[in-house]
Amino acid sequence: MNGDMIGRVIKGRYKLIDERGRGSFATVYIVRDLGDNRIYALKVMHLELSGDGELLARFQREAHILLNLSDSHIVRIFDYGNDNNMHYIVMDYIDGQNLKYYMINQGPMDPLRAINYARQIAEGLDSAYKQGVVHRDIKPQNILINSKDNVKITDFGLARAQDTVTLTHTNVFMGTAYYISPEQAENGRLADTRSDLYSVATVLFEMLAGQPPYEGETAVDIVIKHLNEKVPSILRLRPDLPPEMDTFMQKALAKSPANRFATPQDFIAALEQLIQLLPTASHPPDKSIEGPKPPPLPPPSKEGRVVVIASGHTIPLHGDKMVVGRQDPTLGIYPEINLADKTVGRRHAYLRNQQGAYTVEDLNALNKTRLNGVTLTPHEERTLKDGDILRFGSVEVRFELR
């Protein structure tokens, strides 16, 4: 799968208009349904993997499970099938980013926000639990946050219903090491809803602390810690949290499933009790210290702008965070810096202004962002200086301070 797929029509109906993300197993595209003109996300299994019976069964199982799940916190499926050995699933298009993106870019979260996300995840898992479905791969990368701050759980590729024969050997490692429960690491067949809730707790821990509860140099190191090390105190990393948060984590991350919250509703009830212990608006402890306010910083003496080298068109940089991209009224995308070139992604990069200091951040665009000829790592901010040359797709611009 590559950029040549853009413009292709799947099953005579779904036209691929942009690539949203790609992994080792499948690629997700934004598509337009030529029948009703609606926008969807379409997940296509990599063609070279279609001959792998186990992976194909996993892909098909995801479609079957999602067809039977209906919840506002689970990505909906509308269609699935096979077009010339190209296996696809048509799903909701979610306008937003995955939870990992916010964790990387914003660091430890406000407790109310973090608990709200965890609660929404648990609510989605409650619907799965009532249908006898275990997700088995809850991690920030599989949690989408839409533009209204609503959670959508995706990627049920490792999910298994109670009446589904498992497709993996007993001791094959499933899931992601940072978020996997002890019993799932030992034997994937043992995973149930309490295993999913353990994973939600690890995600909540990372949202609050800025790091997962267990870390190591290899996946094996991390798994061994899940199995053997005591649950770390989150208050050591976030002393502004109430002591009851530690109590919650000790139960939610207990080694034995029997000692954890038994159902998603039990987990949600415990989160609601924690919310009652938090102030209406939580802040890091140092911000609550009273004292004289420092004088306001003087306005920057120079303002940033970018000049499109090919045309000489000048675009002033107004605002704290500006999206560089390509306008698409159909999708409702109107970037502050509109570069009308098909090689530019709809949301290609951010340009930020922090009190006169400008930075650029690539948003994992298909045609990467370059700074002075160097390809940028996605979601990593780089400082800009006067005269720097930026390349978004095929469009080169010069950053200037004037």
Query: CA 203, 136, 139 angle in degrees (round to 5)?
Result: 25
Among 65, 64, 83, 115, which Cα is nearest to 249's? Answer: 115
What does the buried/exposed string (b/e) look like for 97-120 if buried means 16 or more CB atoms within 10 Å of the residue's CB? bbbbbbbeeeebbbbeebbbbbbb
Q: Is the dihedral of CA 56, 151, 131, 262 positive or negative?
A: positive
Say what the alpha-carbon torsion angle 277, 282, 284, 285 is, to the nearest 10 degrees.
-50
Catalytic residue among 137, 196, 240, 388: 137
Q: How many CB atoms lie within 10 A of CB 287?
A: 8
Please say if 137 is a catalytic residue: yes
Distance CA 65, CA 63 (A): 6
Q: What 3-state DSSP class applies to 305? A: strand
**One-letter amino acid for residue 35 of the chain:** G
Report the distance separating Cα 392 and Cα 344, nearest Å: 6
- What CA–CA distance (Å, rounded) separates 107 from 199? 19
Quote the Cα angle for 299-376-304, to 5°: 20
Cα angle: 120, vertex 44, 329; to 5 degrees? 70
Distance, in Å, from the CA atom of 291 to the CA atom of 92, rounded to the nearest integer, reads: 49
* Cα–Cα separations (whole angstroms), residue 187 to 65, 135, 191: 22, 15, 8
Annotated catalytic residues are 137
